[in-house]
Structure 1
Amino acid sequence: MSSRILVRPADPGKTTAFYRDVLGLAIYRTFPGGTVFFLGQGLLEVSGHGDGGTPAGLAIWVQVRDLEAAVADLAEHGVRPDREPRLEPWGLREAWISDPDGLRIVLVEVPEDHPIRTDTRPAG
């Protein structure tokens, strides 16, 4: 079984470029009218054309190794956080950004001592 989030953007080219070039998501496959990106253990499909609206409360959770570095890299692409990095009460470091249609993306760094940490590879 696999899972996929479907995004129907107002401007498919701009949104595809955002996920590919700004967030740096790897491409799983392309097809006429769409691109499917790897997104952790699932997939993110940008296809079709929508009104650019996003459902209230919907967000994409993206884990990063180094939150400060990720935010700095995004700033080089002109992306400013909707909410600056901070340590949450549940022990995760988070920053919020939005895609071109306003879909919230929660960038998450899991501290080494956090119980949900599963990546045991050395940093670097």
Structure 2
Amino acid sequence: MEVLSSRVLVHPRDPDVTTAFYRDTLGLAVYREFPGGTVFFLGGGFLEVVGRGTGDTRPDVALWLQVRDLHATLAELRTAGVEPERGPQREPWGLDEAWISDPDGVRIVLVEIPAEHPLRADVRTP
């Protein structure tokens, strides 16, 4: 299988509220808009808010978003009215994480990779 592009799709209960959350509250850049949906940039991927969902339960999925400065990001989000569900903490796997949710309860894991973490290692051969 050859994958040329990918994106995560969410089907919100209220598309206008969820689109505004990702666009205005989180400040994600819009990649494109089309009748019934909006696609946002997510670093190396995309998030598409499309259609209308009918589920009443929290989906068993999370968005993993790496940020440069977790504490500064949380301060910025608090100013926009977003309180974290779980504040920043160092995980056993060595990443600093905090959790927020979108209007439908989709968990968003905000991640800062510490300077000493192996994900920051230069894997190029000298």
TM-score, normalised with respect to structure 1: 0.90
Report the equivalent of 2:59.
55
Equivalent residue runs for 1:1-124 within 5 Å = 1-52=4-55, 53-56=57-60, 58-117=61-120
Q: Can you list the C-alpha shifts for 1:10-55, whole angstroms capped at 9, x where unaligned?
A: 1101100111111111111000111000112211000111125442
Q: Which has the larger radius of gyration?
A: 2
Report the equivalent of 1:122.
none
Gaps of at least 5 residues in structure 2 are none
Whether the 8 Å CA contact 2:62–2:107 is kept in 1: the answer is yes
Q: How many residues align?
A: 118
TM-score, normalised with respect to structure 2: 0.88
- Pick closer, same or farther for the CA change 1:69–1:102 going to 2, 3 Å: same
Q: Can you list the C-alpha shifts for 1:31-85, whole angstroms capped at 9, x where unaligned?
A: 01110001122110001111254422x1000000000011111101111101010
Identity of aligned residues (%): 67
